[in-house]
Amino acid sequence: MPAPTNQLPQAIAANFPIPELSVGNTPPSISASPYMPDANKTRERFEKLSAICLGFPQALREDQGSHASFKVGKKTFAYYLNDHHGDGIVSICCKVLPGDNARLIDANPRKFYMPAYIGPRGWVALRLDRPTVDWAEVKELLQSSYAQIAPKKLLRLIEQV
């Protein structure tokens, strides 16, 4: 696996103005989905999501095809999924407290769903392909996920802000 870096080739950086980037040579390929056919809107939401995630201390982004993972150290605190296994959904997956994934899904199944593979291990997915996105809710989920994964010394940096 290549070493994490915050540098992008100049041509890529010009097309994807995200504050920081990590592992990978290119950002995820951004494409339209059946639920959000506007690729520009998908890109804007991905950029906003990246800015939130990379705002956490020592957070890095690792691009994987049309997906991305957000990590602190070697541990992942969020996954960006775009058309995962052809499901046509654009979402962010976050680690939640035990039982919260089922509660969130039960409360709003159009917004939340159980992500494949990781859902039963305490993760929930929030759809980003809905007509509107509550970014305060996205940030809250991401902050909670980061707090469960990050070392305690980094959490103290968030508390000081």
pLDDT bracket for residue 8 (50, 70, 90): very low
pLDDT bracket for residue 35 (50, 70, 90): low
Matching residue, tokens 């494949």: 116
pTM metric for this prediction: 0.74
Q: Tell me the mean pLDDT in the region 73-98.
A: 90
Rounded percentage of the chain residues whose pLDDT exceeds 90: 58
The predicted pLDDT at position 37 comes to 56
Q: What is the mean pLDDT of the chain?
A: 80
Residues 124 and 100: beta-carbon distance below 8 Å: yes
The predicted pLDDT at position 84 comes to 79
Q: What is the pLDDT of residues 107-159, one digit of tens each?
A: 999 999 999 889 999 999 999 999 999 999 999 999 999 999 999 888 877 76
Q: What is the pLDDT of residues 138-150, one digit of tens each?
A: 999 999 999 999 9
Q: For the chain, which domains are there?
A: 29-160 (3.90.1150.30)
**What would the DSSP string read from start to end of 29-64?**
PP---SS---HHHHHHHHHHHHHHHHTSTTEEEEEE
